[in-house]
Chains A and B, each alone.
Chain A
Amino acid sequence: MSEIPADLKYSKSHEWVREEGGMITVGITDHAQELLGDIVFVELPEVGGEIDLDGECGVIESVKAASDLYAPMAGEIVEVNEALADSPESINETPYDAWVFRIKPTSSDALEQLLDAAAYTEVVEAE
């Protein structure tokens, strides 16, 4: 069973979300990196770009497949994790530290729409 930290929020498309001072940080879950296999390339979204809820914002490429990343909340991309360009494998190694991008959300209520750890566990188990 993959790791699902209790203090994070989750999307059905396997992104994790951490809220810090009005900003949210997004990465992909342990379960997602397990499914993808060895990650070899991460295409990051553009800083400053406006993004809709569930909008595509980046691509994660593994030896098996290329998967789109989706925005778990609408807002503006304020920062991306440039370090992933040189070490995409850090997502495999430490999925909850290897964040991908940060969003300044349009609305703070949006966080409530996401899944908590218990609900996300159910999503993973149903697969």
Chain B
Amino acid sequence: MLIFERSEAGRFNSAQRIAGQESQALRLEGIPQAMRRKNSLQLPEVSELQSVRHYTQLSQKNFSIDTHFYPLGSCTMKYNPRGCNTLAMLPGFLGRHPAGSEQLGQGVMASLYDLQEILCEVTGMKATSLSPAAGAQGEFAGVAMIRAYHDARGDETRNEILVPDAAHGTNPASAVMCGYAVKEIPTNSEGDVDLDALRKVVGPQTAGIMLTNPSTLGVFERKIEEIASILHQAGGLLYYDGANLNAILGKTRPGDMGFDVIHINVHKTFSTPHGGGGPGAGPVVANERLAPYLPIPMVGEEKIGGETIYRWLGEEDCPQSIGRLSAWSGNVGVLLRAYIYARMLGTEGMERVANYSVLNANYLMKRLQKAGFTLAIPQRRATHEFIVTLKREAKELGVSAMDFAKRLLDYGHHAPTTYFPLLVPECLLIEPTETEDRETLDAFVEAMVTILGEAENSPDQVKGAPWTLPVRRLDDVRAARELDLNWYQRD
């Protein structure tokens, strides 16, 4: 039920009414007639208690990291520590406005400056811009910087970006948004980029390559230095998709592998809350070569008379910048949570993140393999995630990866990523993350084994799942064919 469906004319939320005032006349005199809305705003008319109950009940239906194991591969759904939230909500942070004076914003700016430095250190790069408002915008910024670099050198014939076939769909999309043609590179059976195929397509038309390392297949790209040298010799650049950075924190750095620019999904690696349509942040970090093109604004540091002063760096400071991506300086509230998370972990803690996320993934992978599940790349050690293929189960038992995923919900586990990467048929991409204990991992294996037994003996139990959630299996075909996203007043 939508909140609009609870609406009744004349009901109101008493908390919004000012004591002693029946209603406050809107003061519209400063707004030109032509710019005023003609129809009234369509808002639900509900009582305070109705709205509290409505949203509390909705939240109780939610299946989230706070309530359940959430091994959603490639999405790094780890626990968001409450401490990050508490500190980012301090009045000194909350009360700042981006248009406020730098003098009064020194605390926020010092935190953002520190975060820029931390991200440089973690990735082995030269400079950071925190301004992209989401991972996708960070990707766009990274490719736009590659373009700006080639253009600045008068090297305008480069019109192609290379993307391995295992890549996230956002990679080719970002390349196209920046005006590039996309060339796909195949992956070999061990999960590495096919180097012979790469050599064949690299040339004077190559602007760069976009890579995720570890890749979406959950394995480390072993030939990364060779790939970097092939690209650089041809005058192309390397873009690192930060989606899987969690696996290598404190172990190795994109900058050391030869990458020129990287975007970081702070909602993955730095544990800020995930989407839900809310604010995101996708900092972009570059080496010496690409640093001049980073988006503005950034925070700069100056020492004046023994005192450290922070200030916004704009167009005058960074004349070669690709420009602004939004009106202000990115989603500061999210960035602060990432900053606090990084500070709480420290260098040692970051390495621990990588250790445990990789250990958990390999433990889960081996246990599932022993239980009879087929791995997509059994000959390789997993990084922070791995792939199970249910091709045999689908063929012999008629029970698909989607059926397994839905049935897992009944057993109290969020489904892993299904049908991605596209290279592997009937696959589950499983990423436990470092925040899960052994009992939880064992319970997941137990559920998978139980479901496999059901698939053999009573397949309808799996195909009809979920049975125990607030909603049964949704008609995703009809949902996709007949999109219904907005509420409109029916009068």
Contacts and interface: CB of A to CB of B under 8 A. Distances in A.
A67 B481 CA distance: 17
Interface in A40-57: 40-41
B419 A65 contact: yes
A41 B422 contact: no
Contact of B477 (A35, A40, A127): A40
Given A40-B477, A40-B480, A64 B419 contact: yes
Interface in B238-291: none
B476 interface: yes
Interface string B429-466: 00000000000000000000000000000000000000
B425 A40 contact: no
A63 interface: yes
A89 B425 CA distance: 21
Contacts of B481: 40, 88-89
Contact of A65 (B422, B476, B477, B480): B422
List the 4 closest A-B pairs by CB distance, nearest first.
Answer: A40-B480, A38-B477, A64-B419, A63-B476
A88 B419 CA distance: 21
A41 B480 contact: yes
Interface in B464-483: 476-477, 480-481
Interface of A: 35, 38, 40-41, 63-67, 88-89, 127
7 contacts: A41-B480, A63-B476, A64-B419, A65-B420, A65-B422, A89-B477, A127-B425
B47 to A, nearest CB: 39
Given A40-B477, A63-B476, A88-B481, 7 more contacts: A35-B425, A40-B481, A63-B477, A63-B480, A64-B418, A64-B419, A67-B422
Contacts of A67: 422
Nearest to A66: B169
Interface of B: 169, 402, 418-420, 422, 425, 476-477, 480-481
A38 B477 CA distance: 6
A18 B477 CA distance: 29
A66 B420 CA distance: 11
B173 to A, nearest CB: 11
B482 to A, nearest CB: 10
A127 B402 CA distance: 20
Contacts of B402: 64
B110 to A, nearest CB: 45
A55 to B, nearest CB: 12
Contacts of B418: 64
Nearest to A41: B480
A64 B405 CA distance: 13
Nearest to A67: B422
Contacts of B422: 65, 67
A16 B5 CA distance: 49
B120 to A, nearest CB: 36
Nearest to A61: B480
Contacts of A127: 425
Nearest to B418: A64
Contacts of B477: 38, 40, 63, 89
Instruction: Point out which of B419, B422, B481 has the most chain A C-beta atoms below 10 A from its C-beta.
Output: B481
A65 B422 CA distance: 7
B28 to A, nearest CB: 44
A67 B423 CA distance: 11
Contacts of A66: 169
A88 B422 CA distance: 21
Contacts of A38: 476-477
Contacts of B476: 38, 63
A83 to B, nearest CB: 15
A67 B422 CA distance: 9
Contacts of B169: 66
A64 B421 CA distance: 11
Contacts of A88: 481
B463 to A, nearest CB: 14
Most buried by B among A38, A89, A127: A38
A114 B481 CA distance: 34
A65 B420 CA distance: 8
Nearest to B483: A40
A88 B418 CA distance: 23
